[in-house]
């Protein structure tokens, strides 16, 4: 196997390879760009026109997606997976990965779309580097751009595998991309309705990619992800890479639950209180009239939405950041009608 196929091993060892470019027997080029960053270019005659960015390890303790990307890259380096797409593999927060921690000083996934410029420290620097790497990768014109940012959650979920679909002015969510996600084993998608500061929001809004944050189960240490079944996602990624993806029909959304953001709960001060059990699962239902949270100056969040559910509840976030999202069922027919 080509040495550059051991990107994860080099990343965890904080090792920079002597050879920055290597070729597979079939002519695919592997190019080391930076710590945790590897570009794969197929031979010109095999190029499908797809630019696929696969990122994981934005949170260093979310290891199942990291192991998935490692398997794909190993097979490319061995020549058993032959790329027809341009690929960029990114391990987002190498130092947090080495320590087995979510982050070192601050959450990288709250530092994109220029937010890193208002901050300092290793995560802010890395967020800026990830933006530059993604922008350079997606700089070629007239190509299809797709980004999957792979995560696992800090808590359990009523719906184990789900996606967040970013929003940008002037763009519509794609039913075709939703059908592709469904075929990859995703059971629910949250359709966002305003700009965000996550990595997938940056590539969607600023770089014109179809981009998604994928939540793929619960975070576990390296080597302990047997309970996280990524078979359907891995099969779909392999098909995207080698050009064998079956045709995706727009109407094939059976079983895919769609949600829309109703409100974000923002933590304003240290007085913030979230009235949920610490082990509450994502997509837990909320009863109308329930007092969800309180903060300074009499700020109260009372659930008034029908069919409301909670995702990403985290009262320990820094002041000014999102402590939870209230979501409600989305209008599937409206989405299909605009596609």
Per residue of the chain (339 residues), give pLDDT as tens: 789 999 999 999 999 999 999 999 999 999 999 999 999 999 999 999 999 999 999 999 999 999 999 999 999 999 999 999 999 999 999 999 999 999 999 999 999 998 898 888 999 999 999 999 999 999 999 999 999 999 998 788 999 899 999 999 999 999 999 999 999 999 999 999 888 999 999 999 999 999 999 999 877 767 767 767 899 999 999 999 999 999 887 766 788 999 999 999 999 999 999 999 999 999 999 999 999 999 998 899 999 999 999 999 999 898 998 999 999 999 766 665 555
CB 179 within 8 A of CB 185: no
Residue 334 CB partners (closer than 8 Å, separation 6+): none
Residue 141 CB partners (closer than 8 Å, separation 6+): none
CATH 3.40.630.10 region(s) of the chain? 3-242
Coarse DSSP helix, strand, coil percentages of the chain, rounded to the nearest 5 percent? 30, 25, 45
Q: How many other CB atoms sit within 10 Å of the CB of residue 255?
A: 9
CA nearest 143: which of 4, 41, 269, 247?
A: 41
Check the annotation: does 275 bind a ligand: no
pLDDT at 220: 76
pLDDT at 252: 63
pLDDT at 248: 81
Q: 328-332: list long-range contacts, CB under 8 Å, 24+ apart.
A: 328/259, 328/260, 328/262, 329/257, 329/258, 329/259, 329/260, 330/191, 330/258, 330/259, 330/260, 331/258, 331/260, 332/253, 332/258
Check the annotation: does 59 bind a ligand: yes
Using alpha carbons, list the distances in angstroms from residue 281 to 183, 263, 276: 24, 18, 10
Architecture of domain 3-242: 3-Layer(aba) Sandwich (3.40)
The 8-class DSSP code of residue 157 comes to: B
pLDDT at 224: 64
Q: Distance (Å, rounded) from C-alpha 157 to C-alpha 151?
A: 13
pTM of the full structure: 0.93
pLDDT at 247: 85
Q: Distance (Å, rounded) from C-alpha 58 to C-alpha 60?
A: 6
CATH 2.40.50.630 region(s) of the chain? 261-338
Question: Exactly one of 177, 215, 245, 281 is catalytic; which is it?
Answer: 215
pLDDT at 190: 95
CB 311 within 8 A of CB 283: yes
Is 129 assigned a catalytic role? no
Residue 118 CB partners (closer than 8 Å, separation 6+): none
Is the torsion defined by CA of 221, 116, 177, 339 positive or negative? positive
pLDDT at 294: 96
pLDDT at 235: 96
The CATH fold of domain 261-338: OB fold (Dihydrolipoamide Acetyltransferase, E2P) (2.40.50)
Q: How many other CB atoms sit within 10 Å of the CB of residue 251?
A: 10
Check the annotation: does 62 bind a ligand: yes
């Amino acid at each position: 196997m080509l040495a550059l196929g051991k990107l994860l091993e080099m990343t965890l060892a904080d090792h920079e390879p002597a050879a920055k470019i290597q070729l597979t027997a079939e002519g695919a080029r592997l190019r080391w760009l930076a710590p945790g960053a590897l570009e794969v270019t197929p031979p010109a005659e095999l190029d499908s026109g797809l630019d696929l960015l696969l990122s994981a390890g934005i949170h260093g303790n979310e290891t199942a997606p990291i192991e998935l990307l490692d398997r794909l890259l190993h097979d490319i380096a061995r020549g058993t997976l032959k790329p027809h797409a341009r690929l960029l593999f990114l391990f987002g927060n190498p130092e947090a990965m080495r320590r087995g921690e979510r982050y070192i000083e601050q959450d990288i996934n709250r530092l994109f779309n220029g937010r890193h410029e208002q901050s300092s420290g290793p995560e802010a620097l890395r967020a800026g580097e990830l933006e530059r790497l993604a922008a350079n990768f997606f700089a070629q014109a007239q190509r299809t751009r797709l980004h999957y940012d792979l995560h696992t959650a800090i808590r359990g979920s009523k719906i184990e595998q789900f996606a967040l679909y970013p929003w940008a002015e002037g763009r519509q969510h794609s039913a075709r991309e939703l059908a592709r996600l469904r075929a990859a084993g995703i059971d629910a998608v949250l359709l966002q309705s305003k700009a965000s500061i996550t990595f997938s929001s940056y590539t969607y809004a600023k770089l014109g990619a179809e981009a998604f944050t994928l939540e793929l189960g619960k975070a576990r240490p390296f080597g302990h992800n047997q309970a996280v079944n990524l078979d359907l996602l891995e099969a779909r990624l392999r098909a995207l890479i080698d050009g064998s993806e079956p045709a995706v029909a727009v109407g094939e959304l059976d079983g895919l639950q769609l949600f829309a953001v109703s409100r974000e709960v923002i933590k304003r001060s240290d007085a913030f209180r979230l009235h949920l059990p610490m082990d509450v699962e994502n997509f837990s239902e909320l009863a109308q009239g329930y007092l969800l949270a309180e903060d300074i100056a009499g700020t109260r969040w009372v659930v008034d939405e029908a069919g409301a559910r909670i995702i990403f509840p985290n009262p320990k976030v820094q002041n000014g950041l999102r402590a939870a999202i209230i979501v409600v069922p989305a209008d599937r027919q409206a989405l299909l009608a605009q596609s």
